[in-house]
Amino acid sequence: MVSEHADATDGDTTALALKILVAGGFGVGKTTLVGAVSEIRPLRTEERLSEAGRLVDDTEGIDRKVTTTVAMDFGRITIRSGLSLYLFGTPGQDRFWFLWDELSQGALGAVVLADTRRLADCFPAVDYFEHRHIPFVVAVNCFTGARRYGTRDVLRALDLDPGTPVVLCDARDRDSGKEVLIRLVEYAGRIHTARLLDSVR
């Protein structure tokens, strides 16, 4: 049974945790970004799959006995006592979509990390968040040696809704990572306010 937090009666002191997802293709820098902004060493947590794995591991009969372990990176930023931001690096492989469903439940928003050399890698993440109406920003990780593109080019190449923020970033840099998160929280706030207005219209 789940109980409300001990001091849940007092609106001001209720401990609040907000969740932000970091998605994108394999090797795009999700773990790096989480590590750069997190105040704790990036922790890894494992989800052991058995039942769920059976449904997706369609590998000719050997599936039934397979237990797969998926690791998720996560980090924490304490805003103040009782208000923390949790970052989750989503598992890269497409077959772990169902894990995304759990992760994205109640998420404030998502950062989709993109590498302009392999832009297609972030399409699934973009699709996923668009379909579920989860606010997201696209953060272009500027790898050394990769050709720089303007945010407008990326917006167009990904066929994003015009309002979707595209930010150039360096996933290794703490300030750069912070900026990405700020843009996301601002954007998520705007989206939620707009939805609220729509619902009372």
Partner 1 sequence: MTDHTTGADRGRPGSQWYDNEAGPLVRPYAMTGGRTRPGPEWVRFDLIALVTRVPGAPGSDDAVLGPEHRTLVRLCRSETQSVAELAADADLPVGVVRVLLGDLVELGCVTVSRPVPPARLPDERILREVIDGLRAL
Read off the amino acid at residue 104: S
What is the β-pairing status of strands 83-89 and 166-169? Answer: unpaired
Longest dimension (CA), the chain: 55
Name which of 3 and 144 has its Cβ closer to partner 1: 3
Least distance CB 144 / partner 1 (angstroms): 25
Name which of 40 and 120 has its Cβ closer to partner 1: 40
Least distance CB 47 / partner 1 (angstroms): 5
What is the β-pairing status of strands 68-80 and 166-169? Answer: unpaired
Least distance CB 49 / partner 1 (angstroms): 9
Least distance CB 50 / partner 1 (angstroms): 8
Name which of 56 and 157 has its Cβ closer to partner 1: 56
Name which of 146 and 196 has its Cβ closer to partner 1: 196
Footprint of partner 1 (CB under 8 A): 1-6, 8, 15-19, 37, 40, 43-48, 51, 65, 67, 69, 72, 74, 76-77, 79-80, 83-86, 88, 102-103, 105-108, 174, 178, 181-182, 185-186, 188-189, 192-193
81: number of Cβ within 10 Å: 8
Query: Tokens representing 7?
Result: 């001091």
Name which of 146 and 182 has its Cβ closer to partner 1: 182
Least distance CB 119 / partner 1 (angstroms): 27
DSSP 56-67: H--STTGGGG--
What is the β-pairing status of strands 83-89 and 109-114? Answer: unpaired
DSSP 83-134: EEEEEEEPPSSGGGHHHHHHHHTT--EEEEEE-GGGGGGGHHHHHHHHHTT-
Q: How far apart are CA 89 and CA 27, in angstroms?
A: 12
Name which of 55 and 83 has its Cβ closer to partner 1: 83
Least distance CB 148 / partner 1 (angstroms): 25
